[in-house]
């Protein structure tokens, strides 16, 4: 049952061969069985099961013909990254400063999901305030990748001496929720690759839409000009279903596109003969593992054999994107984090000798070193004497990076094909040998230029490495060509027939 895709589950709910209540119960059982992966920080098991029982009654009435209305995701479990506000469910951003925060409202994309009948199984673990690329910097501890993981037998204690692979970040918990079968889809956020990176490491689909297609209302901001709600799914079809359900203009988010969005269904019979696929030469980056390079080469050959034209292209300003991203990220972080002062909500220090000391103590106690470091760097970049040399210059470089993509797509390219990550998922011990900033710069090299340009991109599992870990490849398209990106990704998915992680043996132990 948990091996079904979202599309398959909906089909079975519609014909009455599957019960929403049973489906939710199976997901809850699986989530509890794999809880040692540390991917859920606040569970909503009881409430989700109650809602699923209600949805099961509605489906039964629909199947029996007593009414003609049905909700697309009625009773189907989903997981939500812990930086999306959820009314009456704790939302922490994996930080001490919001450890006991319960929002009075729900983020727009989450609300749309619930309006379509989806139930929230839990809030997922992440890097604190989404600052990281491994989901290792959380007050709840790191997220563990289920691939090649040695699960403890029922009743046994977890062996904490064994090394394991990271889930990627910053939305690692959401990726693990989908990969393990504990949910049929999940939301993450994507500021520089935080959806696509963990999707690649965990062998699931990760979709970052065109900036402005999905509302950011209720997504606790990291970098307003880069943040995009991300979608995790088992298949490209599932990602398309979720995108169509939650996309559209939101009066509470002025950055959403006001043009109406036509819903679409991806075709099953897809031809790529008319396509021109671009291979950016700058993405042959130092440190790329042979298995990723080979997967990239095989994918290009696959398109070539299918009749598509495959050509090398240049995105000349890619080399400056990491520095540009770092400056803009820190500058906006410094601004966004200023709201956490211990006065209106969140953690409040006991030091009340003065307002300034209260602010300082609250923020020192509430933020980890990574967050404080970015705040300090951002305020430095925004100083009057530095503003033009750092922030303004970074904005100019960002425009050049976006122009690179516009010129490539305007020159006849339909889709760009790139790796998503330099390697397969690294081990936790290796990843934590150096600081967060260094690892983030390494891990985001292929993903953050897409956020700077605002274009859509999707990660699709391509193959397994020699060590049995997933390798994901990334498809990038022009602005507002989300459907085309999803269609090409679905064709590639059909050709590779990647075998998803099977944890059914855990249900018997």
Widest distance between CA atoms in the chain: 72
Cβ pair 11, 72 in contact under 8 A: no
Assess contact for 200 and 230: CB atoms under 8 A. Answer: no
- Strand runs labelled E in 305-446: 309-313, 415-419
Cα Rg, the chain, nearest whole Å: 22
| Per annotation, catalytic residue among 19, 183, 189, 194 | 194
Active site residue 194: yes
The residue among 79, 203, 197 whose CA lies nearest residue 502 is 203
Start-end of H helices in 411-478: 428-431, 436-443, 448-453
**Which residues pair with residue 388 across a beta bridge?**
none
Told to judge if 3 belongs to the known catalytic residues of this protein, a careful annotator would answer no
| 151 Cβ contact partners less than 8 Å away, ≥ 6 residues apart | 34, 36, 506, 509
Give yes or no: 154 in active site: no
* CA triple 218-398-396, angle to 5 deg: 120
- Mode of pairing for the β-strands spanning 205-208 and 119-124: unpaired
Please pick, among 48, 72, 81, 171, the residue that the annotation labels catalytic.
81
Name the residue among 99, 339, 321 with its Cα closest to residue 226: 321
Round to whole Å and give the CA distance between 225 and 332: 8
User: What separation in angstroms does the CA of 418 have from each of 292, 295, 299, 328, 509?
Assistant: 10, 10, 10, 24, 40
Residue 329 burial by Cβ neighbours in a 10 Å radius (0-12, 13-18, 19+): buried
Q: What are phi and psi of 457, to 5 degrees?
A: -155, 150
Residue owning tokens 């705040």? 375
DSSP annotation of 148 reads: T
Residue positions annotated with a catalytic role? 81, 170, 194
């Amino acid at each position: 049952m948990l091996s079904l895709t979202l599309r398959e589950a909906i089909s079975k709910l519609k014909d009455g061969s599957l019960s929403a209540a049973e489906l939710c119960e199976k997901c809850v059982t699986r989530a509890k069985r794999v809880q040692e992966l540390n991917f859920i920080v606040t569970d909503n098991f009881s409430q989700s099961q109650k809602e699923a029982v209600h949805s099961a009654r509605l489906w039964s009435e629909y199947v029996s013909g007593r009414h003609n209305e049905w909700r697309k995701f009625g009773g189907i479990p989903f997981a939500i990254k812990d930086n999306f506000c959820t009314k009456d469910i704790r939302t922490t951003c994996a930080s001490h400063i919001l450890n006991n925060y319960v929002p009075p409202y729900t983020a727009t994309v989450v609300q749309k999901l619930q309006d379509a009948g989806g139930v929230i199984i839990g809030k997922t673990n992440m890097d604190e305030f989404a600052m990281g690329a491994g989901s290792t910097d959380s007050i709840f501890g790191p997220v563990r990748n289920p691939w090649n993981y040695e699960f403890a037998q029922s009743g046994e204690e977890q062996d904490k001496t064994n090394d394991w692979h990271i889930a990627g970040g910053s939305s690692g918990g959401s990726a693990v929720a989908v990969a393990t079968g504990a949910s049929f889809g999940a939301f993450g956020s994507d500021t520089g690759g935080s959806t696509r990176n963990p999707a690649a490491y965990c062998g699931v689909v990760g979709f970052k839409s065109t900036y402005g297609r999905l509302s950011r209302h209720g997504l606790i901001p990291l970098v307003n000009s880069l943040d995009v709600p991300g979608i995790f799914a088992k298949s490209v079809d599932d990602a398309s279903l979720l995108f169509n359900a939650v996309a559209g203009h939101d009066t509470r988010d002025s950055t959403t596109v006001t043009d109406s969005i036509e819903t679409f269904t991806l075709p099953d019979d897809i031809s790529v003969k008319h396509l021109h696929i671009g291979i950016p030469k700058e993405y042959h980056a130092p440190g790329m593992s042979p298995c990723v390079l080979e997967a990239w080469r095989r994918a290009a050959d696959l398109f070539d054999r299918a009749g598509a034209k495959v050509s090398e292209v240049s995105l000349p300003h890619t080399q400056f994107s990491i520095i540009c991203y770092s400056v803009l990220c820190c500058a906006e972080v410094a601004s966004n984090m200023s709201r956490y002062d211990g006065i209106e909500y969140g953690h409040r220090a006991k030091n009340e000798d003065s307002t300034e000391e209260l602010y300082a103590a609250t923020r020192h106690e509430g933020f980890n070193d990574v967050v404080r470091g970015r705040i300090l760097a951002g305020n430095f970049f925004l100083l009057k004497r530095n503003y033009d040399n750092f922030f303004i210059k970074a904005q100019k470089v960002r425009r050049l990076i976006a122009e690179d993509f516009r010129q490539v797509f305007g020159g006849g390219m339909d889709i760009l094909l790139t790796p998503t990550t330099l390697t397969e998922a690294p081990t936790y011990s290796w990843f934590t040998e150096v600081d967060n900033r260094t690892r983030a710069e390494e891990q985001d090299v292929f993903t953050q230029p897409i956020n700077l340009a605002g274009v859509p991109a999707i990660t699709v599992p391509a193959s397994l490495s020699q060590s049995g870990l997933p390798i994901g490849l990334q498809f990038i398209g022009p602005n507002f060509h989300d459907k085309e990106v999803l269609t090409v990704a679905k064709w590639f998915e059909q050709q590779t027939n990647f075998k998803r992680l099977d944890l059914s043996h855990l249900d018997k132990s």
